[in-house]
Amino acid sequence: MTVLRVWRTTIAREAKEFVQALSTIVGWGVSDFKDAIIKELTFIETVLRERRME
Protein backbone atom coordinates (compact mmCIF):
# COMPACT_ATOMS: atom_id res chain seq x y z
CA MET A 1 0.00 0.00 0.00
CA THR A 2 0.99 3.58 -0.54
CA VAL A 3 -0.11 6.59 1.49
CA LEU A 4 -1.82 8.89 -0.99
CA ARG A 5 -2.77 11.67 1.38
CA VAL A 6 -2.90 12.47 5.08
CA TRP A 7 -5.56 14.80 6.43
CA ARG A 8 -5.69 16.69 9.69
CA THR A 9 -9.38 16.79 10.47
CA THR A 10 -8.87 19.66 12.89
CA ILE A 11 -8.22 21.88 9.86
CA ALA A 12 -11.49 22.74 8.09
CA ARG A 13 -10.10 22.58 4.54
CA GLU A 14 -8.47 19.21 5.15
CA ALA A 15 -11.55 17.84 6.88
CA LYS A 16 -13.60 18.80 3.82
CA GLU A 17 -11.07 17.11 1.50
CA PHE A 18 -11.20 13.98 3.65
CA VAL A 19 -14.99 13.81 3.51
CA GLN A 20 -14.91 14.34 -0.26
CA ALA A 21 -12.35 11.54 -0.69
CA LEU A 22 -14.37 9.25 1.56
CA SER A 23 -17.48 10.04 -0.45
CA THR A 24 -15.67 9.12 -3.66
CA ILE A 25 -14.53 5.80 -2.19
CA VAL A 26 -18.01 4.95 -0.89
CA GLY A 27 -19.53 5.93 -4.24
CA TRP A 28 -17.13 3.57 -6.02
CA GLY A 29 -18.04 0.84 -3.55
CA VAL A 30 -21.76 1.07 -4.21
CA SER A 31 -21.40 1.28 -7.99
CA ASP A 32 -18.43 -0.12 -9.93
CA PHE A 33 -17.06 -2.35 -7.18
CA LYS A 34 -20.49 -3.68 -6.21
CA ASP A 35 -21.30 -4.40 -9.85
CA ALA A 36 -18.02 -6.32 -10.29
CA ILE A 37 -18.71 -8.40 -7.18
CA ILE A 38 -22.24 -9.20 -8.33
CA LYS A 39 -20.88 -10.24 -11.73
CA GLU A 40 -18.38 -12.61 -10.11
CA LEU A 41 -20.95 -14.08 -7.72
CA THR A 42 -23.40 -14.61 -10.58
CA PHE A 43 -20.70 -16.45 -12.51
CA ILE A 44 -19.94 -18.68 -9.51
CA GLU A 45 -23.64 -19.38 -8.99
CA THR A 46 -24.03 -20.34 -12.67
CA VAL A 47 -21.07 -22.73 -12.53
CA LEU A 48 -22.35 -24.37 -9.35
CA ARG A 49 -25.85 -24.80 -10.78
CA GLU A 50 -24.42 -26.37 -13.93
CA ARG A 51 -22.37 -28.81 -11.84
CA ARG A 52 -25.49 -29.84 -9.91
CA MET A 53 -27.30 -30.61 -13.17
CA GLU A 54 -24.56 -33.01 -14.34
pTM > 0.75: no
Domain annotation covers residue 34: yes
Q: Are 18 and 9 in contact (CB under 8 A)?
A: yes
Q: Tell me which residue range forms the domain holding 47.
A: 21-54
Residue-wise pLDDT tens digits, 1-51: 787 889 999 999 999 999 999 999 999 999 999 999 999 999 999 999 999
Could you give the number of structural domains in the chain? 1
- The dihedral built from the CA positions of residue 21, 27, 32 and 36, taken in this order, carries a sign that is positive
Domain annotation covers residue 37: yes
Domain annotation covers residue 15: no
